[in-house]
Amino acid sequence: MRNRIYLCLAHMSGKEMDFIKEAFDTNWVVPMGPNVNGFEKDLEEFVNKRVGRPPLDKKVVGLSAGTAAVHLALIACGVQPGDEVIVQSFTFCASSHPITYLGATPVFVDSEPDSWNIDPDLMEEAIKDRIAKTGKKPKAIIPVALYGMPYKIDRIMEIANRYDIPVIEDGAEGFGSLFNGQSLGTFGEYGVLSFNGNKMITTSGGGALICPDAEKARRILWYATQARESYPYYQHETIGYNYRMSNICAGIGRGQMTVLDEHINHHKHVQALYCEYLKDVKGIAMHGNPGPEFDSNFWLCTATIDPDLRIKGQENAYAQVITGAVGGAAGVTHAAASAVTDCQPNDNVEALRVALDAANIEARPLWKPMHKQPVYRNAPAYINGVSEGLFKVGICLPAGPYVSDDDVRYICDNIKDAIV
């Protein structure tokens, strides 16, 4: 039987062990050290580059997770209990959960159909309405680079600047993606990166926060190391967090940086193959860059399936409760009470996922919009139907560095075979 084809697993370069060995040899097995400093410098060099323009001078702080980066960015923007933060609804929960950690309220805004990311016009409507309803403006705006696709950051920044609201770019899925030749995460006040095991590069777990200058980076670093004061003993006058990246993880990251460009090019190559192999398949459309200013890393390759397309086994979709997480870590799921919810992918999408799974191919639905998540049932939401519509018809296909040209052809052949 063919080996399992996973959605996206970062590829190890062989350089990682050198940095890890150095950390052990020098006894820097702690949440700081030379590898952390070196990794941050590597990241700064990468994100500050601009096509045809002078480089930027952003600073980067290595952290334990992308979620930690969102949390600290919100703190740096002054978010407190009772505040509101605008956040893209079409995203993973790590974009919105840290808002609730602070006792604030997420205000979800739907997507526009080109990039699938936050709709700038609807975002401005939400800002106006929140001011009218609460008497104060939202404290921050969080757009998300869904599956690596850039958001319309020019329009987002124009609106945010007009209302004087800081932007926290969630580029966790968009490391290496560009808008008009500039890295995502460098347009707003802060930019979030993730190095989880399934991202463009990995530190096994970890993340980073792109900061506007050295002073704000030092403030973030202080919060990330338990907000210790400068005394010969531990004195704390502010609540801090244990969010610093470890020297071991950073060593992995330094090795991964040597293959980052290779990973980005591979993902783009896989996207092009999907487009070629599926171009004549009626009812299936790949999602691509909507314009020349967009340059996605194609962290995941996504497609939409026409609701009228029939898939083998479609009549059995959602017939039984799934016993484990699709793509999740085994043993951490909560038993579902029902096989269906009030917002789920169409039967043909689920049938295709099941058919691919039987062929040892991991595929997943798109992110379920946050405004349709039960935990956020009472959160304000500004909806146009785009994200719900895409969630019903979309699917994620494998795109990682281990996905070969033969794998892509095998995946596409199985998609074609699954169609009635």
For residue range 329-378, list pLDDT tens digits in order. 555 667 777 889 999 999 999 999 999 999 999 999 999 999 999 999 99
Please say which residue of 241, 258, 275 terminates a domain. 258
For residue range 281-292, list pLDDT tens digits in order. 999 999 999 999
Please say which residue of 258, 287, 321 terminates a domain. 258
| Higher-confidence position of 2 and 156 | 156
Q: Which residues pair with 232 in a beta bridge?
A: none
1, part of any domain: no
DSSP per position, 32-57:
BSHHHHHHHHHHHHHHT-BTTB----
Domain match, 110 and 204 both: yes
Distance CA 179, CA 50 (A): 10
pLDDT exceeds cutoff 90 at 248: no
Cβ distance 89 to 371 under 8 Å?
yes
Domain match, 63 and 173 both: yes
Range of the domain at 343: 261-418
Query: What pLDDT is stored for residue 320 in this prediction?
Result: 78
CATH number at residue 44: 3.40.640.10
Distance CA 269, CA 174 (A): 16
Domain count, the chain: 2
Query: What pLDDT is stored for residue 332 in this prediction?
Result: 60
7, part of any domain: no
Of the listed ranges 8-17, 167-176, 311-320, the least confidently predicted one is: 8-17
In which residue are the tokens 């599956």 written? 147
Domain match, 185 and 273 both: no
Query: What pLDDT is stored for residue 4 in this prediction?
Result: 93
pLDDT exceeds cutoff 60 at 91: yes
| Positions of E strands within 99-149 | 105-109, 140-142
Query: What pLDDT is stored for residue 1 in this prediction?
Result: 66
Please say which residue of 211, 229, 258 terminates a domain. 258
CATH number at residue 406: 3.90.1150.10
DSSP per position, 59-93:
EEEEES-HHHHHHHHHHHTT--TT-EEEEESSS-G
Distance CA 131, CA 364 (A): 38
User: What is the Cα 287 distance to its own chain's centre?
Assistant: 17
Domain match, 147 and 236 both: yes
pTM for the full predicted model: 0.94
